A = this chain, B = another copy of it.
């Protein structure tokens, strides 16, 4: 019987990359799980994980995309998303070929996504016995297929609207990746509120962040241009699907106060389990990534099955994010901390008082959410949408709602309240994907970063796009238009 992996076990596996890389055998191994993911995660945490989902998701999705394209020629019918590299004879449909193609394709994409880490990616190739300088595009070899697949995806994605090279959106900068700022918002978003003044209490206000030692910074809406990015499974232009967030309009005074009070009540009544669940879902790699990895281990997936499943869940969330980002920009809705400050100013409110302070009386102007507030407007909830897309696409791919994922959480292992929370060891369990997405949505409310009304609309979008993404990937696998 398979013993379910815990989060800490999986993270430990992921942390042990050098040992894994050195013992990697392309004939029997799984290059994404054993080599590429463990190598990419530290780079992700050092670069894009200080922000939230869009950049993390784009990284993992584009890596999946090159894997999918790199192994398509070794499948009976699949055709790549950005490439059509022909089909190799059945005798070559081996994991040895797939893994080598995956590694060369990953090298191309990692160089593009993480240009300051190029020496690390060279070392990675060397560590698994491959020549980092082999840039062959001979499509009769796995090296050539990997290089060609990687280059094809890179060519599309370096100009997909995300402005990865800083040369999109401004005609003066076309071809000027030398002076442009990577990922710069070329859509001209500007908040109506400043960090210092609430001009419209229904709209987003950048939060002032600090490191506890006097270094203060103000948020910028993270990549507003994400709503304009090239999707996989969707056709543009995209409609706005969610109803307006009525309770976030201060003209609806009773509703406005009611939904803010509900956030304060949740803050005052936070349990250790809610805190740890909120932290889990705030970490997209630990929640979305690890639940998929867990299922792939439980199901004993082949390299090909893993790539298809992981790509599916990633592109489902990635496309969901495009729709959610358009809606976030459209509604530009207020976060709880602004509404609470607007309503109550310096009045004392009962709430969580900060790390280790428990429930106490806090001037409303000083209230903070348990989770750090993400760098974008509130409505609808992106996390709820990502979890729903992940759950729906998983259900369709795996043919069941069963998940049976269980995570051991050690006493004191909180990132927000280290050494304090949880007071004793606890276990977080998800019997089904439905439970996973439901709890995920609520965790954003518990964490104080969302009103409850933002959860259902986000979830609805994620579920719809999860199904679209599944249909889309089935077509790519079957090689039908």
Contacts and interface: CB of A to CB of B under 8 A. Distances in A.
Contacts of A222: 214-216
A75 B211 CA distance: 40
A208 interface: yes
A220 B197 contact: no
A182 B218 contact: no
Contacts of A32: none
Contact of A51 (B214, B218, B353): B214
B363 A173 contact: yes
Q: Which of A173, A184, A217, A353 is packed against the most chain B CB atoms within 10 Å?
A: A217
Given A216-B222, A220-B218, A362-B179, A211 B47 contact: yes
A55 B218 contact: no
A47 B179 contact: no
A441 interface: no
Given A210-B181, A366-B173, A217 B220 contact: yes
Nearest to A348: B172
Interface in A14-49: 47-48
A466 to B, nearest CB: 25
Contacts of A182: 210, 212-214
A219 interface: yes
A191 B206 CA distance: 14
Given A172-B346, A190-B197, A215 B55 contact: yes
A48 B181 CA distance: 26
A116 interface: yes
A179 B353 contact: yes
Contact of A181 (B50, B360, B366): B366
17 contacts: A51-B214, A55-B213, A55-B215, A170-B346, A173-B366, A179-B353, A179-B360, A181-B210, A183-B216, A190-B196, A195-B218, A195-B220, A214-B223, A215-B222, A216-B222, A217-B218, A218-B218
